[in-house]
Structure 1
Amino acid sequence: MAEDLVLDTAIRDWVLIPLSVVMVLIGVLRYFVSKLMRSSPTPDAKMVKEGQVVIRARNLKAGASFIPPKSFRARRFYFSNEENGLLHVPKDQAQNPQAQMFSEPNMAMDMMKKNLSMIIPQTLTFAWVNFFFSGFVAAKIPFPLTQRFRSMLQNGIDLSTVDVSYVSSRSWYFLNLFGLRGLFSLILGDENAIDDTQRMMQMGGFGFDASKSLSAEKDGLDIIQHEWALPRFEHRAESVLRKLVQ
């Protein structure tokens, strides 16, 4: 049976609050450091053009029902024909994004700076938390949880008799690490509130893959079933007028 614990107020004052404040300060400091290390790369004209083509193709798919069938077929042929279509990418011109990254030293350096600005502060912070605050029960969630949340909320506490709603200090660190996006959006703005979950996802990416995006939009245009919406609107207008006349 799960046991109820009485948390000392000293844990709140010397563990919970300092840990939360330090996590917020580190996030703000990391933002300003990454801003200082950020470089302003020169935009590639070819990549910008391909990105605009992708946007135009998406707009065509979104507004296809408002274009007459003949006009839509002409636009689709203009984008996706095999000879000189804007979305057609020859196999010999398809570029591997990893090869693109290694061919541009500035891109590789920027990615290394971003990764270091995330890894180094979090590694030092986790070592600090693990050394000074390991083994503390820092807080309690005010609603019951199932046993599946025990490994997530009680990291560092090997007691199966403690209720699942209690949170260890190490788990509180991870909750702050991945859950402060809303607070950073208030402090730094929406454009600057990038949490560590997104940073970890971006570590595996290598920027805009033009050939993949163009091919995906080409396949989407090829399989779309066009249906002009104007006849439906005319039918609805006629029905409304008939009801008004009656």
Structure 2
Amino acid sequence: MEAQNTQLLVLDSSIRNWVLLPIVLFMFLFGILRHYATIALRTTRKNDKAKLEQAQTLARAQTVRTNANWIPHEAFLERKAFFNQPETGVLNKKIPANTLASMADPNNMVDMMKTNFATIVPNIVMWGWVSYFFSGFVIAKFPFPLTGRFRGMVQRGIELNSLDVSYVTSASMYFLILFGLRGLFSLVLGEANAADDAQLMQQQMMGPAAAMAGPGVDMGKLFEAERDNLELVTHESKLKEAETTLLNSSQ
């Protein structure tokens, strides 16, 4: 019943030339500007050798635990003893917590403010620019049908129930372009660029070595937790039947 009440539109090519392309071009150029502005605001610090060593040790222990079944049993026991030996194991080292010292460092707050400034302010500027100049435009149509539940997602700024859900407004296209430019930014600026919000979030959650070397992290508790996790691993080698599997696959 909904498909019978929808209204079909013929999109003028001028909308593509004077609305869609300017939005894409503006967001691309603004992303490049944000990338270099973030680099200029970034504070260069000397790495703490002790923290990096602790983070790398923890990452190695996690790698052994994750891939334990892909190494021989004797090799796993040797690595487990290296990390969990009661007196000499590297995960049994006593590491004093220094969370208060890192919280008292004003540079941490400054870096956080710079990151928020480089992430939030450009999005507010771009969204305000698109909303002010191009609000209410229908600029594209999906080549596939959508249900009515997607109307609020793809038709922001227009409240018209008779319009087919497959039509997209400029406000909704902004978010699609924001994520669609990720590949272009990676091609122009490289993989580790500051023009992509999702890339920045991924870098912050990229793994234990990147997150655990930061300030305010209690490495002693992380060592203790990883030591307990390594003790719970039950080694079941997946290489026992490797020769037989390889010969059967080659026949």
Band of TM-score, shorter chain: 0.7 to 0.9
- The aligned counterpart of 1:126 is 127
Give a deviation string over 1:107-142, Cα, whole Å, max 9, x none. 332221121012112112211211111111111112
| Counterparts of 1:132 and 1:29, CA distance in 2 | 21
- The aligned counterpart of 1:220 is 229
* Correspondences of 1:168-179 after superposition (within 5 Å): 168-179=169-180
- Structure 2 alignment gaps of length 5 or more: none
* Correspondences of 1:85-164 after superposition (within 5 Å): 85-88=89-92, 93-94=96-97, 102-164=103-165
* Correspondences of 1:29-108 after superposition (within 5 Å): 29-65=33-69, 67-81=71-85, 85-88=89-92, 93-94=96-97, 102-108=103-109
User: With structure 2 as the length reference, what TM-score do the two structures score?
Assistant: 0.78
Q: Secondary structure at the match of 2:47?
A: coil
The farther-off stretch of 128-137 and 212-221 is 212-221
RMSD of equivalent CA atoms: 3.2
CA contact (8 A) 2:204 2:211 kept: no
Say if 1:151 and 1:50 are closer, same or farther in 2 by CA, change over 3 A: same
Q: Give 1:18 deviation, angstroms.
A: 0.5
| Counterparts of 2:228 and 2:172, CA distance in 1 | 45
Amino acid at match of 2:157: G
Count, aligned residues: 236
Q: Secondary structure at the match of 2:140?
A: strand
CA contact (8 A) 1:155 1:168 kept: yes
The farther-off stretch of 66-75 and 109-118 is 66-75
| Counterparts of 2:198 and 2:231, CA distance in 1 | 35
Q: Secondary structure at the match of 2:192?
A: helix
Say if 1:152 and 1:163 are closer, same or farther in 2 by CA, change over 3 A: same
- Structure 1 alignment gaps of length 5 or more: 241-246
Amino acid at match of 2:188: I
| Counterparts of 1:222 and 1:125, CA distance in 2 | 51
Q: Give 1:221 deviation, angstroms.
A: 1.1
| Counterparts of 1:66 and 1:6, CA distance in 2 | 60
| Counterparts of 1:100 and 1:198, CA distance in 2 | 29
Q: Secondary structure at the match of 1:190?
A: coil
| Counterparts of 1:195 and 1:100, CA distance in 2 | 32
Amino acid at match of 1:214: F
Amino acid at match of 1:224: V
The farther-off stretch of 174-183 and 68-77 is 68-77
CA contact (8 A) 1:115 1:203 kept: no
